[in-house]
Structure 1
Amino acid sequence: MPDLLNSFRTCYDRFEDESMLTHDLHESIVAQLYSAAAGDIEWREIMGRIADLFGHAAAVLVAIDPAAGSLRAHTHGYTDDEANAYYQSETFRADPRASLHMGVRAGEIYHDRALYDVPTMLRDERVRASIDAIGVAHQMGLSLRLPNNLSGAFTLLSTEAEGMPTDEGLAAFHRLAPHVEQACALSAIIEQAAGTQAVLLEALSAKADGVIIVDASERLAFVNDGARAILAAGDGLGWSDGQFATARAAETRRLRAMVNGVTSALKKSKAPDVGGQIVVTRPSGRKPYVVRVLAAPPGERLLSHFGCACVVHVHDLAAVRVPNPAMLSATFGLSEREARLAAECIRYADLSAAAAAIGMAHNTARNHLQSIFRKCGVHSQAEAVQLFGRLG
């Protein structure tokens, strides 16, 4: 039995040495795939390595939003602008191979010979036009399943001179395919989390009460608690039938146009210098909302490109921002009772009402207020309220 096992290992080692994808090479490529997913290296680097291994001139990683009919490409061997321009061209749409490649079920590997008769297809004038445009005659790829109802493809591209993949190449690609898909899915999740974090940090710096992220299909991708409460209140700003809605038709049209301007620019791969700001009136008669519409923060959004397109900040001008008394104590050295009184002075314009809210006598409150002035370096209640309000 030991002799049989040793013989098997010898045969396996010889096969591995002769294979285009040895165990060590396979493990090295898989490690780089997950490094790209984590953002430690660029996707273009590992795409180039895989393309070179299989003897292909180029590779493309595509993210697709089926609901919006949008597609975004990242490439090795071409610039991204060249690839995206081709995918938006009439030449691509007219190529009969396009629908066959795009129609492959998610999770499946495809190559030319499995989809159509190659010699016949290459004689088609529409196919020849595509080959003349980008130089690609053959493809071998994987249809990707991505989070958030997105799909995609990881495809190796070759010229007529490079030819179609060999059986050995197909076998090696089958080994890599599960890792390619998992790395792409992981990358999409990491990118979207990073994009959401960037949006929230930007909103924090702008002191927005509500933060809403809209994807490229103009669906709600993220709504923070503040925005959720504002939409649910229905006091001038809401979400109805998959769109923003206000109490006034003119405001509704303008707000929707601003959101659409951002998402449309993104679909056309333009730098979205669009968006804007609008005052939204409230039927209750309270101070209005100020709504800002911005493009999502720039950054590497490759596979999550369609999940974070437009950011909406909602500022509630009627909201009273009361700082935490503990923060006031730590910042200005106020006693516990002084800090509570200072916080209530922001909530109530009248000192008597602020004192009553915490069960403090009016004269005691006046004495505490003088102590607050000394510790904070201010000379009036209005000045103190302005100072503390900035910390709310």
Structure 2
Amino acid sequence: MISLPSKLELSELIGSIYDCTLDPSLWETALAAIREMFLGESVLLSLNDLSRNRLLIDKSVGWEPQWRQARDRHLPEIHARLSEWLMETASLDAPFIASRHLPGGYEEHSPYVQEVLAPLGIADIMHLFLMQTPTSFSEIVIMRHRRNGHTTEREIELAALLLPHLRRAVTISRVLDAHAIERRRLAEALDALACGVVLTDEHGAILHPNRTAEKMLCAGGPLHHARGVLQARDPAAARELRTAIRLAAEDETAIGDAGLAVRLNAADEPPVFAHVLPMAGSGRRRNLRRDAVAAIFVGTAPDEQATAGAIARTFGLTQAETRLLASLLSGDTLKEASRSLDIASTTAKTHLASIFSKTGVSRQAELMRLAMRLQSPAQLESASEAEMQAHPHLPTL
């Protein structure tokens, strides 16, 4: 029988992960707790820029500076192996485990293994993927020393429990200026954000909308209020938001994927997503507003929409093909894309075959590489700079 941490231990760790969304300086504390729970030697949180082999987010515990610098020199090798895995695996939920997924004999010929991992006594590495776009991915990396042996089923099961919470924290951190909240009163800080933010109680009653959210609620868009209660016009989105708010009030450890990347509008419209952050699970979040149990962040789709649009214009894709392509570029499998777009799997396969024919590729991996090539160096530089300016709280290399 697999021995997992107690519910209290898991609850404390998940709470510390969510606290990082409001105070990024706490990531080292959360990563240290993850290292202890996974019997790891070191743990890293990173956002990897594949186009230029660099890190845009870089947090770690258990690494001395000279070894981190040595690892960074091997980023092209690391990115090549992980990109290959991401293109072949069916889901971002599947971890990459070196002892299980590297081909036989790879370690003996790998400069990274021989020059960095072997001298440190690292016997195994597990990568947990939090997000992926054509030019980047975010991950948690857990390294195990030879004295603790290879990754076991215990760590894999524990990773599955923590993954949705890590994914939620990183996703929301990308749209939240945490330093603004630290420096200002809550209402002023929320009003300064470009994304919409709504604080609610356990029944979904609106306690505070920031200025952007207030405009959304009055504009007749995908969100509105009925007698002061937050509502989504799409029935499926409304159900998921209610479920996520209820779980946020009852037990944030059980929220899982509920309320993460909730599509608020129709498939034939530019997508708008909502993300629910539990607020009552720790004093740090609860002190922002004592009666709030959830914060709902509302924003538009990420950059893969623009990438899909560029490919569509270049190769003459239809609107339906473009929507499918954007979903695939965001990291969805074909099955997940057909479900999110509310189309039959056979229809999705037909659209994909047409995309392959028009673009001259034969596999999704080639489609990803095409998406990267279509982004010019100037666009990549602009996107990277814009992201760092928009999120100055994110640590940089």
Normalising TM by the smaller chain, what interval? 0.3 to 0.5
Select the structure of larger CA radius of gyration.
Answer: 1
Specify which structure has the bigger relative contact order, considering alpha-carbon pairs within 8 angstroms and separated by 6 or more residues: 2
